[in-house]
């Protein structure tokens, strides 16, 4: 009932399958307070007053850039690649390196802002030089990934985000939670994605869409995270069900995975939940629900709150994701 009072007849999340073939723009989603201001003052670019935390659960090997790297990694890249060091500038880099932990966030901000505001011809020149280095050094994996990104958006300053943001690689079933005000850019792979209902995206690169570099630079918190901190660990509810529940009010997801050929159970129970839920079927050899409806791969089902459903006659691989309002 509380959930009904809070959200009415609306589900407060968007739930979808996303297939990423090329980098999807360096972006940040504003928090609720900023979203409210932007919606009032610039609705042509920011059409919602809501925030947009999001989570991606990999269906295939999946890569993306997310959150700032630990400071030392960024500094080491700037020292290793002179092109990046030049863009940041020797003085600023020295200030960043010698700063104590409390001041490093402010230094990181200065470095990132300076990079994003360099004249286009200088950026294009440094990218060209790095691409030439990459072509001559097959063993440098960082340069290889940088070149892959840069080749999709020639001359785009966003390619340099690789050196600032963690390069996250997910295996199927691993998840990435992106909180508000945190930079990210999905690079490749398929995932199930969920987000709070909002269309507010502040972009700064790797996109033909509207860029708002000043706003993006002001919005971010510049708090680095390690990859371990970013990958969201699901909890196992039963042998077939994993729960992904990041600390946001709007959503949580259960992954249901059953090998119908191996399991003797051959029956799975969807417990009635406190909220309505959406079920996306990713794989389904054959299965029935309650017991007359045949579940089909690629179909999406609406499950009303409080109702139990039993899946029976499961054959082959069954993989589904159920999204609901987090309790
Ligand atoms: Zn996003």
Report pLDDT digits (tens) over 152-192: 999 999 999 999 999 999 999 999 999 999 999 999 999 99
Ligand 1 mean position, distance from CA 84 (Å): 26
Query: Contact at 8 Å (CB) between 28 and 181?
Result: yes
| Mean pLDDT, range 111-120, rounded to an integer | 92
Query: Contact at 8 Å (CB) between 273 and 279?
Result: no
Give the pLDDT of residue 144. Answer: 94
Ligand 1 mean position, distance from CA 161 (Å): 15
Angle at 105 between CA 174 and CA 164, to 5 degrees: 50
Give the pLDDT of residue 55. Answer: 97
pLDDT in tens, 274-303: 999 999 999 998 898 887 889 999 999 999
Ligand 1 mean position, distance from CA 106 (Å): 24
Residue 114, classified by CB atoms within 10 Å of its CB into exposed (0-12), middle (13-18) or buried (19+), is: middle
Residue 307 confidence (pLDDT) above 70: yes
Ligand 1 mean position, distance from CA 234 (Å): 21
In which band, very low, low, confident or very high, does the pLDDT at 51 lie, cut at 50, 70 and 90? confident
Ligand 1 mean position, distance from CA 326 (Å): 20
Give the pLDDT of residue 263. Answer: 66
Ligand 1 mean position, distance from CA 51 (Å): 11
Ligand 1 mean position, distance from CA 312 (Å): 37
Rounded to the nearest 5°, which phi and psi values hold at 266?
50, 25
Cα–Cα distances in angstroms (integers) from residue 18 to residues 56, 158, 218, in the given order: 9, 21, 28
Number of C-beta neighbours around residue 312 at 10 A: 13
Give the pLDDT of residue 264. Answer: 62
Query: Contact at 8 Å (CB) between 96 and 75?
Result: yes
| Catalytic residue set | 203
What span, in angstroms and rounded, lies between the C-alpha atoms of 162 and 164?
6
Structural domains in the chain, CATH included, are 2-232 (1.10.441.10), 235-324 (2.60.120.10)
């Amino acid at each position: 009932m509380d959930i009904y009072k809070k959200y009415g007849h609306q589900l407060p999340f968007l739930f979808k399958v996303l297939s990423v073939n090329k980098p999807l723009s360096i972006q940040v989603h504003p928090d609720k307070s900023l979203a409210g201001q932007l919606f009032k003052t610039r609705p042509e670019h920011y059409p919602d007053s809501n925030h947009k935390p999001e989570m991606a659960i990999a269906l295939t090997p999946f890569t993306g850039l997310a959150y700032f790297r630990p400071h030392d990694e960024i500094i080491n890249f700037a020292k290793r690649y002179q092109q990046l060091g030049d863009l940041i500038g020797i003085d600023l880099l020295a200030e960043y390196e010698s700063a104590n932990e409390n001041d490093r966030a402010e230094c990181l901000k200065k470095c990132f802002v300076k990079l994003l505001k360099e004249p286009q011809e200088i950026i294009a020149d440094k990218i060209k030089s790095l691409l030439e280095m990459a072509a001559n050094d097959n063993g440098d994996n960082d340069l290889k990934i940088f070149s892959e990104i840069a080749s999709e958006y020639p001359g785009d300053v966003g390619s340099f985000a690789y050196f600032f943001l963690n390069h996250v690689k997910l295996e199927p079933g691993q998840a990435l939670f992106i909180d508000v005000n945190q930079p990210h850019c999905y690079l490749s792979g398929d995932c199930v994605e969920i987000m709070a209902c909002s269309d507010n995206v502040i972009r700064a690169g790797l996109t033909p869409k509207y860029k708002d570099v000043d706003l993006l630079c002001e919005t971010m918190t510049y708090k680095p995270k390690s990859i371990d901190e970013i990958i969201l660990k699901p909890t196992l509810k039963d042998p077939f069900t994993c729960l992904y529940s990041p600390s946001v009010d709007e959503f949580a997801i259960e992954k249901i995975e059953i090998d119908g050929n191996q399991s003797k159970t051959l029956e799975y129970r969807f417990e009635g939940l406190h909220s309505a839920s959406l079920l996306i079927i990713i794989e389904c050899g054959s299965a029935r629900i309650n017991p007359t409806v045949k579940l089909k791969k690629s179909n999406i089902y609406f499950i009303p709150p409080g109702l139990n459903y039993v899946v029976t006659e499961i054959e082959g691989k069954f993989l589904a994701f159920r999204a609901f309002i987090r309790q």
